[in-house]
Amino acid sequence: MNKIIITDSSLRDGNHSVKHSISLKSIKKYCQFADAANIPIVEVGHGNGLGASSILIGQSRHSDKEILTTARKYLTNSKLGVHIIPGIATINKDIIQAIDIGVDVFRVATHCTEATVSKSHIEFLKNKNKSVIGVLMMTALASVSELVTNAKIMEEYGAEGLIIMDSTGSYLPFDVVERIKALKEALSIKIGFHAHNNLGLSVYNSIVAAQNGAEYIDACMRGFGAGAGNTPLEVLIPVLEKYDFKTQIDYELTIKEADNVMNYLIEEPPHISPVNILTGLNTLFSGFEKPIINAAKMNNLEYSSLIFELGNRKLVAGQEDLILEIASKMKK
């Protein structure tokens, strides 16, 4: 029987869908559940990770220090994880503080073709004897060989694992097979997969990833995340079990909490809307949904035409400010 290590990103990726406004009270309640349910890693913070709260990306309701200190207090069994994007999170201001608070797992994330920018962050964390995992985002925009090249760079810097994110929710199962197999053959570290549900394939793609050697799988309660959301945790666990993978997560507690979270964390579970389908098909970041709809309304455009244009320009996460600019030019 193969063991899968689940990272629950509800309190990080879910923050995208509520404008980074998850309360400390909600963080406390969810961490108490996750700890009792034996969820291995709980990722917490602003949707874009440490140091990301800003007017441009979105201001968080609480500071990183408040968020992480609260989560640390209630995670005694589960490990506390954070998402780090070099260029947003700094070593001196953000990472050292997270180490002092007691973060267990640091996931250093870059665009899929820009792994070299992770060097200082990964090497600093390894020198501090911290658990550090490399993450490649927006991976539908890279070829298999580009992914392998960038993954090997993160491994050389000292990453003990490598996660590929289908940030656009674009992957079909054969895309997962091809990439996970290539990474397993090329690397000596653990491989993982993070899915989005734009095309309704997040659970199946996660299973396919596990079947082809992925040991880390990301999921969120009720799929809590931007746009069409992420792999729903409460669905993934029993499906993994049916395929003879073990997570050691208490499913009875998990399925109860899937109801409870509607009272304190999630106002409305993510669902697949036409805009999500189009962003997935055009390999656009799932978090672009609301900026696209708002920009289209402001400029009296069909959001579909704006999506096609953004896809042609290959916009990536972090370029939200360009959506309005492009829509304005299309109007003219």
CATH numbers and ranges of domains, the chain: 2-263 (3.20.20.70), 274-331 (1.10.8.60)
Question: What are the residue ranges in the chain where pLDDT is below 50?
Answer: none
Q: Where are the beta strands (DSSP E) in the chain?
A: 2-3, 5-11, 41-44, 79-84, 105-111, 131-137, 161-165, 190-194, 216-219, 245-246
The span from the CA of 292 to the CA of 274, in Å, is 12
What is residue 315's predicted lDDT score, i.e. its pLDDT?
83
C-beta of residue 209 within 8 angstroms of C-beta of residue 181: no
* Helix %, strand %, coil % of the chain (to 5): 50, 15, 35
The span from the CA of 156 to the CA of 161, in Å, is 11
What is residue 227's predicted lDDT score, i.e. its pLDDT?
86
C-beta of residue 78 within 8 angstroms of C-beta of residue 34: yes
State which amino acid sits at residue 64. D
Cα Rg of the chain (Å, integer): 18
The span from the CA of 302 to the CA of 179, in Å, is 34
What is residue 1's predicted lDDT score, i.e. its pLDDT?
52
State which amino acid sits at residue 285. F
The three-state secondary structure class of 114 is coil
- Residues forming the active site: 16
What is residue 41's predicted lDDT score, i.e. its pLDDT?
98
Alpha carbon distances (Å) from 62 to 51, 56, 69: 11, 16, 11
Q: What is the dihedral of CA 320, 326, 328, 332, to 10 degrees?
A: 180
What is residue 242's predicted lDDT score, i.e. its pLDDT?
96
The span from the CA of 173 to the CA of 151, in Å, is 20
C-beta of residue 107 within 8 angstroms of C-beta of residue 81: yes
What is residue 279's predicted lDDT score, i.e. its pLDDT?
92
Q: What is the pLDDT of residues 279-304, one digit of tens each?
A: 999 999 887 888 899 888 989 989 99
